[in-house]
Amino acid sequence: MKAFLAALMFLTRIPVPKIEVSNTNWKKSPVYFPLIGLLIGGLLWLAMFGFEKLFLAPVSAFLIVLVWIWITGGLHIDGWMDLADGFGSNRSRDEMLEIMKDSRVGAMGVIAAICLIAGKIVAVYEVVELHEPLILVLSPWMARFLLICAIKFWPYRNESGLGSGLSAFLSYPVILIHLVLILVISYRVTGLNGIVLLFMTSLLTFLFIFNIYRKLNMLTGDCYGAIVEWSECVSLFLALAIGRLMG
């Protein structure tokens, strides 16, 4: 339970009882990351249900994305902006890592954040128009599943960083259980579209991770945040495209 609460406290701003998190519970917390994603998706579903009754689609979409940002405290957007600043500098690996560590935000980070948030608002607008709240559930769920895949398969090389040791309890059975759970539920609620969505989102996310790893030869906490934001945004657009193509 403490590991779950540690994951909840880290990935969201949802009020939880204050607990003292041991190093072991912190390292166990990634096991629950996909479930936290599912919880976030459920809250977005509720937000959409409420806003739809009060506002038209454009306002509803804007407010849903605000709720999305509030739930996570902008944690992942910060990583997305830092990565954009680093990669946008077009400098050496070490210089990019130094730029990513800088608490100040550069022009590329601001541009990346604007594009990301605008993209989410536009996609959520169409989700509201089509009345497909399940897309809002699957997007954060799949993103945090892909996050634990990144933690497991691409080593975190900064031994003193916050993400060190997070892969310790992410065994292959744990990954497989989460994968099967997402596949089964996605298929039950969306049919073949859900399977295609997970496959395509995973493919594009892994290509994104490969590109990061190729340039940095490592993953950092900022990279993890960027991976979540990329996966969420990509899954939204893919879900809409797949729905249009496959019906």
Query: What is residue 162's predicted lDDT score, i.e. its pLDDT?
Result: 59
pLDDT 10s digit of each residue in the chain, 247 long?
A: 788 998 999 999 988 877 777 888 888 999 999 999 999 999 999 999 999 999 999 999 999 999 999 999 999 999 999 999 998 888 888 888 888 888 888 899 999 999 999 999 999 999 999 999 999 999 999 999 999 999 999 877 665 555 567 888 899 999 999 999 999 999 988 889 999 999 999 999 999 999 999 999 889 889 999 999 999 999 999 999 999 888 6
Query: What is residue 34's predicted lDDT score, i.e. its pLDDT?
Result: 97
196 exposure class (CB count in 10 Å sphere: 0-12, 13-18, 19+):
middle
- Residue 120's Cα: distance from chain center in Å? 12
Task: Of 179, 116, 180, give the one whose Cα is nearest residue 145.
Answer: 179
Query: What is residue 165's predicted lDDT score, i.e. its pLDDT?
Result: 74
Which pTM does this prediction carry? 0.94
Query: What is residue 91's predicted lDDT score, i.e. its pLDDT?
Result: 85
Q: How far is CA 229 from CA 66, 74, 171, 174, in A?
A: 14, 10, 24, 23
| Dihedral class, residue 191 (left if φ above 0, else alpha if ψ from -120 to 50, else beta) | left
CA distance linking residue 187 with residue 199, whole number of Å:
12
Domain ranges for the chain, please list them: 35-246
Task: Of 211, 208, 213, give the one whose Cα is nearest residue 233.
Answer: 208
